Amino acid sequence: MKTTKLTIAALIMSTLSFGAFAAQEINNTTTAPQGEKIGVVSASGAYTLSELESELAAKADAAGASSFKITSTSGYNLMHGTAEIYK
């Protein structure tokens, strides 16, 4: 029972903390990349696309990016992805 409560609390906290990232995701259908491309970040080991997106956003933010664009995702049980980051 205690494990279930901790798991639920962790899920809620991870959902709330996603909004704290400074880097904003961009995609081809809504927004063209703004600013200068400053690099590429990658993440792996995520169980869902949402988790992968959160990991990429955190890495983009840590690199000082203002936005990022996911360029690839792959995986079956564990996801891997890359994103271009922009200043």
Q: Compute the chain's Rg from CA coordinates.
A: 14
How confident is residue 1, by pLDDT bands cut at 50, 70 and 90? low
Domain parsing of the chain, residue ranges: 2-86
Q: 52: which 2 tokens?
A: 């992968």
Fold observed for domain 2-86 = Dodecin subunit-like (3.30.1660)
Residue of 4 and 58 predicted with greater confidence:
58
CA distance 69 to 27: 6
Is a pLDDT exceeding 80 seen at residue 70?
yes
pLDDT tens track for 13-59:
554 444 455 677 776 655 555 689 999 999 999 999 999 999 999 99
Token pair listed for 83: 């994103």
Phi first, then psi, for residue 80 (nearest 5°) are -135, 145
77: CB partners within 8 A, 6+ apart: 47
